[in-house]
């Protein structure tokens, strides 16, 4: 989506629907889905952890844990063996994207309540430009509604310190909500930066990190296989991967420094950079060193960019999963060398999963999966608007959703519902479209229909969304080689593993949601949520 398109969509949501979003946030949080799991709050802890660590792997499908399980000998494997592993964990909302997913993790609430309903209405904020000459658009959590675990912790102890880091701005910002904490993300010139929402200048420890130019160590480096070739069962010559470019190992990073520190973002090495920065931050901010409880949120983005480029069936994603497993192992070893491991609670999860490349999946799907665009429908629909004297900009169709400015139809001969029915009929005929739902009707079906339930969790009931479009399985809206964003399980199914302080080893197949993470951590830390939640605390201690 272009920046101008994002701005237009923002204006629609926040001029036609802002009041509804804010008014519905608290009300929606009090409405639980009938499919919510029945879980038990952990017993009160005699003590509390010194540090909570949330590790989010962007676009990490839960099936990677079983598919590559025997080869996971690093940190992920350690968490699987020694923690409480929820094998049937999901993002229980429909638009499984980075921004909505991250916003659920420490808020305990669905996108309908956080206000972060799509990437396109996530953190972009021209009023909060990057500081220290950072490269990129301004960003802030201003659209985020409500509170998170961070707010509950700070309310209980004002001395609590929080650090949130990622390659992506939205992945660093949204887990902790509106909290004025230490929040940093990667600038394409190889530095970590933040925006004016958080501070006016970088602290010394960040300046010192940037001065070390750690990203430069990857200039001219090759991404080669971590294990011998025989350890990989995937072919290394699938031309559709990488859009036909650079789809065979090794993958080379440019020797031009300005190019390399940007392109390192699409390799496994960006995770190394983020993890090293996070460890420096733990040391500088003295997280987990005192009797208070601090929090670190670290989101690792390499799996997402590699998955988008090569797909989940590629040798590249196989190698990346092994690399992020080893990286998390090194990270935990370094963290435990600084802090007492028995005082740290770790949570591993993901912001969404990933679907197969449509062209590769088509042979096994009925109807065949494909790339879909409904842009060709708009000229016909707008012709009807023009004939009735209605402003043709009264409708916005943004892939999964259709919005309508009903005020534009006043005193006109064209009924807005008839126009929507016309659009829906056209859309249903398009190859790759599974269903078109009227948004107002999904709430009635949410108790018995999983897709309706997830759509009902996406938007507050009074927002100006009219139609919801769900594609057939593994079909996508184009753009990336492989993508996500659907209400299907392959996009919603993610790992949730609790480990360390307050947690016993175990495995459960009960259906749980990412909104259950925050209340579970609140119970471990011993703080009270400041508002009604969609999630419930899970049993992680025997």
Do residues 463 and 313 touch, judged by C-beta distance below 8 A? no
We report the CATH number of the domain holding residue 86 as: 3.40.720.10
Tokens of 1: 């989506």
- The average confidence (pLDDT) of the chain is 92
Alpha helices of 286-415 — where are they, by DSSP H? 302-310, 315-338, 358-361, 378-387
Whether residue 274 is found in the same domain as residue 333: yes
Whether residue 137 is found in the same domain as residue 258: yes
Whether residue 351 is found in the same domain as residue 385: no
For 107-117, what is each residue's pLDDT tens digit?
Answer: 999 999 999 99
Whether residue 314 is found in the same domain as residue 440: no
Whether residue 185 is found in the same domain as residue 298: yes
DSSP for 21-37 reads HHHHHHHHHT---TT--
Alpha helices of 218-371 — where are they, by DSSP H? 257-263, 269-285, 302-310, 315-338, 358-361
What's the domain range around 304? Answer: 31-361+486-525
Does residue 2 belong to any structural domain of this protein?
no
Whether residue 123 is found in the same domain as residue 267: yes
Whether residue 219 is found in the same domain as residue 342: yes
Whether residue 316 is found in the same domain as residue 463: no
Does residue 64 belong to any structural domain of this protein?
yes
Does residue 1 belong to any structural domain of this protein?
no
Could you tell me the end-to-end alpha-carbon distance of the chain, in angstroms, rounded to an integer? 47
Per-residue pLDDT of the chain (542 residues; tens, 9 = 90+): 555 555 555 555 645 444 444 444 444 444 444 333 333 334 444 599 999 999 999 999 999 999 999 999 999 999 999 999 999 999 999 999 999 999 999 999 999 999 999 999 999 999 999 999 999 999 999 999 999 999 999 999 999 999 999 999 999 999 999 999 999 999 999 999 999 999 999 999 999 999 999 999 999 999 999 999 999 999 998 999 999 999 999 999 999 999 999 999 999 999 999 999 999 999 999 999 999 999 999 999 999 999 999 999 999 999 999 999 999 999 999 999 999 999 999 999 999 999 999 999 999 999 999 999 999 999 999 999 999 999 999 999 988 999 999 999 999 999 999 999 999 999 999 999 999 999 999 999 999 999 999 999 999 998 989 999 999 999 999 789 999 999 999 999 999 999 999 999 999 999 999 999 999 999 999 999 999 999 999 999 87
Residue 33's pLDDT is: 40
We report the CATH number of the domain holding residue 402 as: 3.30.1360.150
Q: How far apart are CA 170 and CA 46, in angstroms?
A: 35
Max Cα-Cα span within the chain? 72
Does residue 237 belong to any structural domain of this protein?
yes
Does residue 302 belong to any structural domain of this protein?
yes
Q: How far apart are CA 268 and CA 8, in angstroms?
A: 34
Which pTM value belongs to this model?
A: 0.93
Whether residue 266 is found in the same domain as residue 390: no
Q: What is the tally of structural domains in the chain?
A: 2
Does residue 77 belong to any structural domain of this protein?
yes
Q: How far apart are CA 275 and CA 532, in angstroms?
A: 33
Does residue 535 belong to any structural domain of this protein?
no
Does residue 415 belong to any structural domain of this protein?
yes
Whether residue 80 is found in the same domain as residue 227: yes
Whether residue 124 is found in the same domain as residue 235: yes
Whether residue 379 is found in the same domain as residue 328: no
Q: How is residue 515 annotated by DSSP?
A: G
Q: Of 407, 442, 471, at which residue does a domain stop?
A: 471
């Amino acid at each position: 989506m272009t920046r101008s398109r994002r701005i237009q969509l923002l204006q629609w949501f926040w001029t036609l629907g802002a009041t509804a979003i804010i008014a519905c946030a608290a009300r929606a949080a009090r409405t639980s889905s009938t499919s919510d799991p029945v879980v038990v709050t952990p017993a009160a802890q005699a003590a509390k952890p010194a540090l909570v660590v949330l590790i989010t792997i962007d676009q990490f499908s839960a099936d990677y844990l079983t598919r590559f399980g025997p080869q996971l000998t690093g940190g992920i494997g350690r968490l699987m063996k020694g923690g409480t592993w929820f094998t049937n964990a999901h993002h229980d909302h429909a638009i499984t994207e980075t921004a909505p997913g991250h916003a659920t993790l420490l808020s305990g609430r669905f996108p309908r309540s956080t206000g972060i309903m799509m990437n396109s209405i996530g953190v972009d904020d021209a009023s909060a430009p990057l500081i220290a000459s950072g490269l990129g658009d301004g960003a802030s959590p201003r659209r985020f509604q409500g509170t998170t675990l961070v707010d509950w912790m700070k309310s209980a102890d004002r001395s609590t310190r929080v650090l949130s880091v990622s390659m992506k701005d939205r992945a660093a910002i949204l887990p902790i909500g509106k909290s004025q904490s230490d929040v940093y993300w990667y600038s394409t010139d190889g530095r970590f930066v933040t925006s004016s929402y958080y501070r006016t200048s970088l602290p010394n420890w960040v300046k010192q990190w940037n001065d070390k130019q750690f990203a430069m160590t990857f200039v001219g480096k090759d991404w080669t296989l971590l294990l011998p070739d025989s350890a990989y069962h995937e072919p290394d010559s699938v031309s559709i991967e990488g859009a036909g470019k650079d789809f065979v190992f090794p993958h080379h990073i440019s020797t031009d420094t300005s190019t390399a520190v940007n392109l390192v973002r699409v390799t496994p090495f960006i995770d190394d950079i983020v993890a090293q920065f996070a460890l420096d931050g733990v040391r500088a901010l003295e997280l987990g060193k005192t009797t208070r409880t601090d929090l670190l949120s670290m989101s690792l983005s390499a799996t997402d960019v590699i998955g988008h480029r090569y797909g989940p069936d590629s040798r590249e994603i196989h190698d990346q999963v092994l690399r992020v497993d080893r990286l998390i192992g090194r990270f935990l070893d370094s963290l435990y060398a600084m802090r007492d491991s028995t005082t740290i609670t770790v949570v591993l999860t993901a912001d969404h999963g990933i679907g197969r490349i449509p062209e590769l999946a088509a042979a096994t799907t009925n109807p065949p999966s494909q790339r879909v665009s409904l842009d060709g429908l708009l000229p016909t629909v707008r012709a009807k608007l023009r004939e009735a004297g209605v402003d043709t900009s009264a409708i916005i169709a943004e892939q999964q959703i259709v919005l309508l400015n009903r005020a534009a139809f006043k005193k006109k001969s064209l009924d807005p519902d008839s126009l929507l029915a016309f659009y829906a009929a056209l859309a249903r005929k398009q190859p790759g479209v599974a269903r078109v739902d009227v948004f107002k009707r999904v709430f009635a079906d949410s108790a018995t229909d999983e897709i309706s339930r997830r759509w009902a969790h996406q938007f507050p009931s009074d927002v100006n969304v009219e139609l919801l479009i769900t594609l057939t399985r593994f079909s996508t809206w184009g753009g990336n080689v492989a993508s996500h964003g659907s209400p299907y399980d392959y996009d919603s199914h993610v790992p949730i593993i609790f480990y360390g302080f307050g947690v016993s080893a175990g495995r459960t197949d009960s259906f749980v949601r990412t909104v259950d993470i925050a209340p579970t951590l609140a119970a471990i830390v011993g703080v009270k949520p400041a508002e009604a939640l969609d999630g419930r605390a899970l049993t992680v201690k025997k």
